[in-house]
Chains A and B, each alone.
Chain A
């Protein structure tokens, strides 16, 4: 069964999420949900129950606000709906739970995000260096990274 925009909005609002409906032609997605960082697993579970598939997990370093944003993209095999879940963590302590138990595909995306941004996903089963060299001690997509 395909998910409805109304049902998703209601589910995410119940999660203390700020839900924003977007124009697909302008943004490339239909629903943008901002949740507190301790709610990402619940947010992923909502997407999982609605039959979404994991598109990507990534970060954005908002150095001016002293925060890091973690962005979860979801797409659907049978419905044209696209959902973006986002959360913010403080730059000093970028830590949030892993969603790899809900979507095993997030495992690699989270390892990559850890490499690039130094964001820690607690409870991750295999948080080893991924794309960067084993001895890399830097996080290249942090805006204060100096090569």
Chain B
């Protein structure tokens, strides 16, 4: 309602007429995630419209893909979603291997699964700590980062990087998984199982957390479908969609794990999916450690890699959902086109519709439950 002659007296009397204002959240704001900017049209504390403005850390990875060789683009993929680097490099090497028909030794596939699942756990730990910081709980991130450190140490010993891993190579791995890594990973699984129970006692059953997340920010499965949301977001809306099962890749078909699904559609459901996923990842790692065979860690790959003319897609289940690479080759050493379909992009795109009518603190809690990584959106 606009201020008119009839309503002016209300404003002057201190009884303000109904009007909206625009709240600029970010790009650098303590309550915002990374460099995400959201323009919120507010009706008091209620959100009328929340429009994410993105692109502040856009780096044009897809263009970089067109001016360097296939192998030289590989490290770029680990910098898209830097918390989920193993999965992203997996998708790119997978696409190239599929196009060039490169065989990957079994040992390398098992090592990829082990490292990918370790990466999934470490990514979920960052989300867990950050979400609770958003909600005003400081302590959990200290526990999470303490445990995450063990994963980073293991992966650093393997490939030298602590965050932006480039461990996978076309046809295999950069180097073999050694006994120290396998033993260290086994110890980590044993260490982590009771820790997850402690996480549950400390945080998940906490009444304040439940009040902040339960029935907050419902996202229906139909909304997810219309926007292409995936990962824990869709699994928190009652749909058991997981790329590891829907489009099986690597040795996932040989491993026994459950896809955690919650039907409540609220922020708590998405929280629970991720907590259960950490448990399932530990199960996968345990089995993979039992089954990993001896043998070579890299297959035969031509020194100069030229892919046959045509296009190929490859999708993986990254920590935030479906990551798909579409490569187009014109037969040269350099890609003709690299398309990167990232999960955070689609997961955020439904935010405008899903946040309508929510109050601001709830909308921020819901944003935390989407687990956004801004470089993953901006690419």
Residues of A within 8 A of B (CB): 24-29, 51, 53-56, 58, 60-61, 71, 73, 75-78, 80, 82, 84, 103-105, 107-108, 116, 129-133, 140-141
Across the interface, B341 reaches (CB within 8 A) one of A56, A77, A80, namely A56
Q: Are B54 and A56 in contact (CB under 8 A)?
A: no
Q: Are B339 and A77 in contact (CB under 8 A)?
A: no
Closest B residue by C-beta to A103: B226
Q: Are B63 and A140 in contact (CB under 8 A)?
A: yes
Q: Are B225 and A104 in contact (CB under 8 A)?
A: no
> Given A55-B324, A77-B239, A78-B239: A28 and B58 within 8 A (CB)?
no
> Top 3 nearest A-B pairs by Cβ distance?
A28-B313, A105-B227, A131-B55
The residues of A that contact B350 with a CB separation of less than 8 Å are 104-105
The answer, yes or no, to whether B183 is at the interface (CB within 8 Å) is: no
- Separation in Å of the B353 CB from the closest CB of chain A? 7
Interface of A is mostly: mixed
**A76 to B58, alpha carbons, bound, how many Å?**
29
The residues in B between 305 and 343 inclusive whose CB is less than 8 angstroms from any CB of A are: 311-315, 322, 324, 326, 328, 336-337, 339, 341
- Separation in Å of the B205 CB from the closest CB of chain A? 31
- Separation in Å of the B234 CB from the closest CB of chain A? 7
**A99 to B95, alpha carbons, bound, how many Å?**
27
Interface residue range, chain B:
35 or more
Interface of B is mostly: mixed
Q: Are B324 and A105 in contact (CB under 8 A)?
A: no
Closest A residue by C-beta to B379: A131
- A28-B314, A77-B224 given; 10 more Cβ-contact pairs under 8 Å: A27-B311, A27-B313, A60-B336, A73-B341, A76-B246, A78-B241, A82-B313, A104-B349, A105-B346, A141-B63
**A132 to B313, alpha carbons, bound, how many Å?**
26
> Given A55-B324, A60-B337, A78-B239: A104 and B226 within 8 A (CB)?
yes
Name 14 A/B residue pairs within 8 A (Cβ), A-sorted. Answer: A27-B313, A53-B224, A53-B226, A55-B228, A55-B322, A56-B339, A77-B225, A80-B246, A82-B313, A104-B227, A104-B350, A130-B55, A140-B63, A141-B337
Across the interface, A141 reaches (CB within 8 A) one of B62, B312, B313, B322, namely B62
The answer, yes or no, to whether B72 is at the interface (CB within 8 Å) is: no
Q: Are B226 and A54 in contact (CB under 8 A)?
A: yes
